[in-house]
């Protein structure tokens, strides 16, 4: 784990730069959650609805919806696969996404069907993540989504 400002990143995880979702990959399964920058700019989550176990998803397809203090919208699947599990804790306590994004605040698990070709869209490793996240922070500041520090 390393930090950029107060944001924790895990270089062993994969991150989708389009959705700010992280993936913890083990074999053909991936546990998926929202990264700290994205969850901070959305505000406190109040409602999370996720695809049902067994549902097949393609990369970019809606895998659920969220309502937060500053955002209402869909979550897009970072990779293709079948929903293997949904985290019941975030359905009953959506703020876990804010308080523990890499732990109890995970969203769902996917049995990936096309990871070898789709991994090219994902970022991993400290150097790559550091460059991307610093650029994202600057972009969010330019948009007025973050106070400049």
The tens digit of pLDDT for each residue in 77-117 reads 999 999 999 999 999 999 999 999 999 999 999 999 999 99
Q: What are the CB-based long-range contacts (under 8 Å, 24+) for 128-134?
A: 129/9, 129/11, 129/15, 130/2, 130/4, 130/9, 132/15, 132/17, 133/4, 133/7, 133/9, 133/37, 134/4
Selected from 1.50.10.10, 2.40.50.100, 3.40.50.10490, 3.40.50.1980, the CATH number assigned to the domain covering 2-142 reads 2.40.50.100
Averaged in consecutive runs of 10 residues, what is the pLDDT profile of the chain (149 residues)? Answer: 95 97 98 93 95 98 95 96 98 96 97 97 97 96 79
What is the distance between the alpha carbons of residues 53 and 85, in angstroms, rounded to a whole number? 5
pLDDT of residue 39: 87
pLDDT of residue 62: 97
Domains of the chain, residue spans: 2-142
State the greatest distance between any 2 C-alpha atoms of the chain, in Å, as a whole number: 44
pLDDT of residue 148: 59
pLDDT of residue 146: 83
């Amino acid at each position: 784990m390393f930090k950029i400002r107060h944001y924790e990143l895990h270089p062993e995880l994969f991150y989708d730069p389009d959705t700010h979702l992280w993936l913890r990959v083990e074999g053909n399964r991936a546990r998926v959650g929202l990264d700290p920058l994205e969850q901070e700019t959305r505000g406190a989550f109040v409602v999370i609805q996720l695809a049902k176990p067994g549902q097949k998803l393609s990369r970019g397809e809606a895998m659920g919806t969220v309502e937060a203090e500053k955002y209402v919208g869909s979550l897009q699947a970072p990779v293709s696969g079948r929903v293997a599990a949904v985290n019941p804790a975030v359905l009953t306590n959506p703020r876990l996404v804010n308080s523990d994004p890499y732990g109890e605040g995970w969203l769902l698990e996917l049995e990936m069907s096309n990871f070898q070709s789709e991994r090219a869209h994902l970022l991993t490793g400290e150097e790559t993540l550091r460059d991307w996240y610093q650029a994202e922070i600057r972009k969010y500041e330019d948009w007025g989504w973050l106070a400049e520090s």
